[in-house]
Amino acid sequence: MTRILGLDICANRAVCWLLTDGIPRDPKTYWRDKCKSDERSKDPDKDPFTFYFNSSGIAGLLSLKPDVIALEPTGVHYSKLIENVCKAEGIKILWVGHLQSSHHRKSYKLPDKNDLADAFAIACYAATFINQPHYFLEFTPEVAEIRRLYLQLKSITRYRNPLIARIIQQLTHEFPEALQPKKNIKVTNPITGEVESKPSTNRKYKYKFTILDDGRRALIVWLAERERDITRKTYYWDDLYKKSISHRYGGGISTFTKKLAIFTDEFDLLDFELTQELAALVLNPRFKVYNKVFDEFNFGLMLRAILLALIYPFEHRFESIGQFKKRIGLGLDENSSGNNQSFSSKTGSIACQSEFYLWASTTIAINKNRPDSLIGEKICTFYDDWIKKFSENPDDWEKYLEVKAKLKAIANLKRHFDKSKFSKDSVKLIDAELDRMTTAILNESVKTKKTDRNRKFSNLALCKTASYTGRWLYRRLKAELIDK
């Protein structure tokens, strides 16, 4: 019998569950009995089948002599470590999708947020479909590398943006002239790709930090006292700084600011290098059909990258449009109980969901950036219709957004009560109190500022557009990759 080892990856360890005789006849009873005995423990230091990511931990894992190791592709670096171990030791590895393992765990009525239950469910899923490869995720070397580069670029952005914000604060008194907006200057926003002839008030600093052709920022390079590889040298910043009022009242540019600029420039150089590598991988002929479809939507590089990392190969991954949309973070989970029904959009990839929102706000919402295709026209019309609905009935939509915000507050309130920790009588009192608070919240009238109302509706329109786009993306990929 094949020895199947299911792994649930945690922050610094792997919780394992070994199946040597196939799936137990009564999985829930089997799991419960094992957990109640001395064989397993929720305490990682006491559990004999929880292994930390160090030499002794990996040796302990290998001592189980698994023929197959099954795990979810989460915890990027740790799952990569396990992948390397499997390759080096000649162990077959099976990647199990999060939705699949979650549904398998629920079908056995195992508890949520329990590492032992997750490891057991993954092992059972692998045992069930071990001879059916299409039930598992497939990662080619190119897709794995795309995923790695995408995550590294996002990390760079998270580290670099606070540095730029701090530099702006420093320059307000060290070199205030550097932050003065110029009139009639044409710059390309590095985020939106939009050409701005005059920066708006809330973006008056951004053009100073525009990314140039070599991936660097002129002001940052000057502050770092570095050179750029350009044929024509400019002395603009030197001349402007000579006239700065900071020499008299501010003391000039500090060493601290210069160091921050050096760090920022290093991040820019690394970002430029990794972006070129990512672009080369995304545009690989292997993904020609995918990019053909992406072109119809005018997707940017980062959205293409995260999509390929999540959906490739499309032909063997999705049985329905709902499953596809959940995978890319645009689906809805239905929660039904009695006469109550609610939907949650927090499923699938949050990173992909964010990329779609960014794409909708910078491509669909800006007329000159819109895709020139039939699909693009449909999506833009969908977005415009939502905006039109709001402009014609702003008061009705304000009430809609108000009710939606209240329902969200109620859901968050109820989520804080773990009823399993209370007696039945206490639960009845809690439910009664929650019902009273719910009624009070729904009856309370809350007036929203006009700017907040516009912003909330704009966000709603963008989210609806992103979800609508996911539907068309599935149809176009299916038409090109399966139906042909």
Residue 422 DSSP symbol: S
| pLDDT tens per residue across span 396-428 | 666 666 666 666 666 666 666 655 666 666 767
pLDDT score, position 278: 94
Q: What's the distance, CA 477 to chain centroid?
A: 22
Can you give the pLDDT at residue 21? 87
- Picking from 306, 423, 405, the residue whose alpha carbon sits closest to that of residue 355 is 306
Domains for the chain: give ranges and CATH numbers: 4-137 (3.30.420), 143-281 (no CATH), 290-483 (no CATH)
> What is the pLDDT tens value at each position of the chain, 484 positions in all?
789 999 999 888 999 999 998 899 999 999 999 988 888 998 989 999 999 999 999 999 999 999 999 998 876 677 888 989 999 999 999 999 887 888 889 999 998 889 999 999 999 999 999 998 878 887 777 888 999 999 999 999 999 999 999 999 999 999 999 888 655 444 443 323 344 444 333 344 444 556 667 888 989 999 999 988 777 777 889 999 999 999 888 778 999 999 999 999 999 999 999 999 999 999 999 999 999 999 999 999 999 999 999 999 888 778 889 989 988 999 864 443 343 433 345 567 899 999 999 999 999 999 999 999 999 999 999 999 988 887 777 666 666 666 666 666 666 666 666 556 666 667 677 677 666 766 666 566 555 555 666 677 788 889 999 999 999 999 999 999 998 7
- pLDDT for residue 317: 76
The pLDDT assigned to 191 comes to: 29
DSSP 8-state secondary structure symbol assigned to residue 349: -
> Parallel, antiparallel, or unpaired for β 187-188 and 92-95?
unpaired
Residue 249 has a pLDDT of: 85
The model carries a pTM of 0.73
Helix residue spans in 130-254 (DSSP H): 141-174, 218-223, 236-242, 246-249
Distance between CA 43 and CA 34 in Å, rounded?
14
Residue with tokens 């701005």: 196
- At 161-211, the pLDDT tens digits run 999 999 999 999 999 998 886 554 444 433 233 444 443 333 444 445 566
* Tokens at 113, concatenated: 């947020």
**8 Å CB contact between 65 and 89:** no
pLDDT score for 239: 92
460-317-112 Cα angle (round to 5): 70
pLDDT score recorded for residue 190 = 34
pLDDT at 76: 65
**pLDDT tens, 346-355?**
567 899 999 9
Closest alpha carbon to 164 in 193, 203, 198: 203
Give the closest residue to 109 by CA, choosing from 7, 40, 27, 41.
27
What string of DSSP letters covers 124-136?
A: HHHHHHTT-GGGS
